[in-house]
Amino acid sequence: MISKFFIERPRFAAVLSIFFVLLGVLAIQVLPIQEYPALTPPQIMVRTNYPGADAETVLKTVVTPLEENINGVPNMIYMSSTASSSGDVNISVFFEVGTDVNVAKMDVNNRVQMALSRLPEEVRRQGIQVRERSPDLALVVAFVSEGNKRSPVEISNFVALNVVEELKRIPGVGDVFIFDDKSYSIRVWLKPDKLAKFGLTPKEVANAIASQNQQFSAGGLAQEPTDKSYVFSYTVKGESRLEKVSQFENITLRANPDGSKLLLKDVATVELSSENFSRESFYKGNPAIPMGIFLAPNANLLEVNQKVKSILKELSRTFPEDIKFYYPYDPAPYVKEAIKEVVVTFVIAVLLVVFVIYLFLGNLRATIIPVLAIPVSIIGTFAGLYVLGFSINLLTLFGLVLAIGLVVDDAIIVIENAERIMRVKRLPPKEATIEAMNEITGPIIAIVLVLSAVFIPAAFLGGFTGAFYRQFAVTIAISMIISGIVALTLTPALCARFLEEKEHKAILPIRLFNLFFHKSRKWFVSTAKNFIRFAPLGVVIFVFVIIGSWFFIKRLPTGLVPFEDSGLINIFANLPPGASLKRTIEVSKEIDQTLAKTKEVEEWLNIAGFDIQTLGFKTDSLTAFIHLKDWKERKGKEHSSFTLVPRLNQAFAKNREALIFVVNPPPIRGMSLVGGFEMYIQDRSGGSILDLYRYVQEVVTKANQRPELTAVRTTFIPNVPTYKVTVDRDKAKAYEVEVDEVYKTLNMVFGKYYINDFNLYGRVYHVNIAAEGEYRDDLRDYSYVYVRSKKGDLIPISSLIKLELIPDAPILEKFNMFVSAKVLGVPKPGYSSGDAIKAISEVAKEVLPPGYTIAWGGVSYQEIKVQTKGNLALIYALVFIYLILVALYESWSAPVAILLGVPFAIFGAALGLNLFGLENDVYFQAGLLVLIGLSAKNAILIVEFAEERLKRGMGLLEATLEGARLRYRPIMMTSFAFIAGALPLMLATGAGANSRHIIGTTVVMGMTFATLFGVFFIPLFYYLVVKARTKLSQLTGRK
């Protein structure tokens, strides 16, 4: 027997435990700390641009060829694409959680290369980016110039030159993105009337700029091979690209024989300005430049944020005095606070467990023995986490809190049995411990295997569910294995050395408790006997428990993980389609006024012209990041984000210019940039976008009437007022004008036409051409524009084109290769995300005709998958435990009696969540897995002893009741120790409390019900199973 070896060598046992602790302490110092492990699907972004093309053209000529090649790439779960009227293309390919992002990137890039030959020349010229990117926004930094000493253009370029590249080099940073990028650009503002006066076309101006703004090479002198011998050879350096505005102004457009010249400045205004004019940003009402830092896949938020802030602080020493920066979006404080709250919960749990053990043992000396298992097992677990590449995160910490009540179980069983033998057989501590270990080594091994194995099937499920459960599986399994080792080594060694033969008189509260406990044990045995006598009644109650479990689980609202008050909220505003940026800025000012009066708000940042819901730039959209005050300054539910969001929505509902939505951010960062559900309505029929829009609007309208839903909206707006230009091809042919020349000319005048590049401050920037603002205000301005025919004549472009005002979509989306409309929304207070998904699904089913389907993205996709996989995890856990018990007991029937106690725990958990208004999510499902193991543990203690007594020749009824009587005390001790350890989770407050409430309520209520009610049925189940086994053996003639 292994325990006898350590009883004889207590120092060996002590060294082994110290070894676990030392390794754990070393691991704690190097383990990364983060909110969640890698739970977000890896994402590969494909980006490019088709200059001058509208959204529909981009979708057909760029997005579709790329998607056809990318679709089906290994481990892909879904793909979404956007095409904008600015020519931008964004394709996001999402992969299963756990996919190697570098392999995924290589696979996507290979598919993109295969599609290049099918893409327009202009797109190939722009280039295609394929890069990994986590949508996990780690930080938003707002740069401002105090006193507005510098323009936003100057601030933007200062940040781009001095900050962005420094931050990109930080390990863990996936991307640094200036939301309101105003990169320098040489803007050539044409005056079409002057061009007409001098007989020039926009194309000729562009050609002149392109030909004179180049890097010229001029060869060299006396360079080999040469016939003569020279002392030196020379490189002949040509002219470089132009750098100054004055140089561009003096580009020669025409040189006359008399020496006179026509220069660019004669027909255009040239200035060093911004590449972009479509958005403006404001920090608390002041002009600002916002910069977003996105995490790389699997990066550590806290480490990255700390490094970013450290580098910004160091760089700020070289900043001009007026440039300051702020953090309007920073999730790190919430993560730190949530982890801190779990640590506090951990400490309280330890104290409660110690109290329960002392209450049952009534002896401080004896209490210390099982309590020592806590630091050894818990601290030692960190060493295992380090070896397996895990981190310290909320899930592993939850696992450790639950493990507090578990790791003392084995030690409690040892000391309780040793004390019982000392008391009953009057043996000295050493002999009593040796005999005790002979009896309970088997049950200890069984308990360790069961509690360690319960999560193993879930860990192999893959995807989000597997990644989530794996945290609990590894944490609890490691802690249980170590606690089992401690129970077989250190605990018996300590029992043999420190338990006293002489019984000390306990203090009065302990004596009163013991008196109550002895009476409760007699009542327990008597009640168990009555249940056996009236077995049909017990079976009927058991059936009602199963039905009740199903009923209460079905009544629970569903979700993925609960929303938390993270100290951050977001605002999205949509103005009428096509609204100008100036109108959006006015809405931004109204938002500023409301937020300035809201006492819970610390700071905020508005980005007018940016829609974070589609990651697109639209002048009629606005996104705002709101940073709330610290939780200590917002005590009470009335100041939580859950109360503030509907209050702000009510205030903004009065705005007549825009639809303004205030939402909490998603509970798991990186799955989405917006909270709530994310649904796509797919057109599989190939119909028109106007038909799709009509159905989408009907879905949105009816959804907003549902009591479960609020802020339901769509990003699909195909009715933006748009002019469609059509070239009269017959006239163009008659005048000998190429059609593409017409469109290029229109783009040069009324768009932003990229000519080539120039160098400034060591960087490369664009030279762009367009007409001055006064020449592109209305339809009359087309009369100033001319195009040159092949004969050399100037043809007014207005004579070749026809303009028609039509509704159009500035942004088109596809989801899994079908033209789609994204529908977003959030559940109303009092409803879960599962309720919202169910409600919007019902509305879509009611409204959509054949040929239109729905699909899910982001958090919603994972939530729907989790419900199915969560059920599989429970089934597999039961199967695994059963098989392990069959192997241990060499019996197919005994494990059945053990597992029949599980429904009582599930009933208690489901009832508890219904009583407290909580939801069925992954925390509930993880709690059920723990309860399965704990319920089995209670039954193992009784069944093991009953089986032993049965083998010794005792009658079935006597053996059953004897096992129940002898194991009642350790069952109660271990169960209430676990309940005490989990109670702080159930009663948690502060940051991240909602998650702790769900898992705490699940295990506390489940274990309480299983302990106070389910335990009475274990003897009945064992009795019935053995009776059935005996009868079956008699019928088959087997012994």
- What's residue 211's pLDDT? 92
pLDDT digits (tens, 9 = 90+) for 986-1000: 988 778 888 889 999
Contact 799, 731 (CB under 8 A): yes
Give residue for tokens 């942004």: 811
Using CA atoms in the order 326, 327, 332, 333, what is the torsion angle rounded to 10 degrees? 70
- What's residue 870's pLDDT? 67
d(CA 312, CA 326): 11
Give residue for tokens 């249980």: 480
Name the DSSP class of 239: -
Contact 608, 305 (CB under 8 A): no
CA distances from 62 to 47, 482, 510, 722 (A): 10, 57, 78, 21
d(CA 754, CA 766): 7
* Helix H or strand E encompassing 804: strand 801-808
DSSP helix/strand/coil, 661: strand
d(CA 931, CA 999): 11
Angle in degrees, CA 259, 261, 267, rounded to 5 = 165
Residue 291 φ/ψ, nearest 5 degrees: -125, 125
Contact 142, 605 (CB under 8 A): yes
- What's residue 568's pLDDT? 93
DSSP helix/strand/coil, 13: helix
d(CA 376, CA 17): 6
Contact 219, 236 (CB under 8 A): yes
d(CA 601, CA 607): 17
Angle in degrees, CA 507, 512, 513, rounded to 5 = 100
Structural domains of the chain in order of their starting residue, each with its CATH number: 2-35+335-560+864-1036 (1.20.1640.10), 41-133 (3.30.70.1430), 135-214+238-330+737-778 (3.30.70.1320), 568-720+812-857 (3.30.70.1430)
User: Could you tell me where the DSSP H helices lie in 175-231?
Assistant: 192-198, 202-212
- What's residue 417's pLDDT? 80
d(CA 17, CA 656): 69
* Helix H or strand E encompassing 334: helix 332-361
Contact 3, 633 (CB under 8 A): no
Type of residue found at 568: L
Contact 323, 145 (CB under 8 A): yes
* Helix H or strand E encompassing 814: strand 811-815
Helices (H) and strands (E) in the chain, counts: 35, 30
CA distances from 644 to 595, 599, 706 (A): 11, 10, 22
Residue ranges in the chain whose pLDDT is less than 50: none
- What's residue 1037's pLDDT? 61
Both tokens of 323, joined, read 């440039």
pLDDT digits (tens, 9 = 90+) for 631-665: 888 888 888 998 999 999 999 988 888 999 898 88
| C-alpha 976 chain-centroid distance | 35
Contact 616, 83 (CB under 8 A): no
Both tokens of 822, joined, read 């994204």
d(CA 901, CA 897): 7
Contact 852, 683 (CB under 8 A): yes
Contact 568, 626 (CB under 8 A): yes
**DSSP states of 948-962:** HHHHTT--HHHHHHH
Among 39, 47, 88, which residue's Cα sits nearest to residue 66?
47
- What's residue 1's pLDDT? 61
In what side-by-side order are the strands of the sheet with 268-274?
268-274, 184-190, 763-771, 753-760
- What's residue 788's pLDDT? 92
DSSP helix/strand/coil, 817: coil
Residue 637 φ/ψ, nearest 5 degrees: -60, -30
* Helix H or strand E encompassing 70: helix 64-70
Q: Give strand pairing partners of 765.
A: 758
Residue environment code for 501-524, b if the CB has 16+ CB neighbours within 10 A, otherwise e:
eeeeeeeeebeeeeeebeeebeeb
Both tokens of 550, joined, read 């199903």
* Helix H or strand E encompassing 807: strand 801-808
Whole-angstrom Cα Rg for the chain: 36
d(CA 285, CA 591): 9
Both tokens of 527, joined, read 């009640």
- What's residue 506's pLDDT? 67
Name the DSSP class of 632: G
Strand pairing of 568-574 and 137-145?
unpaired
Both tokens of 227, joined, read 């016939």
Type of residue found at 419: E
Q: Give strand pairing partners of 825.
A: 677
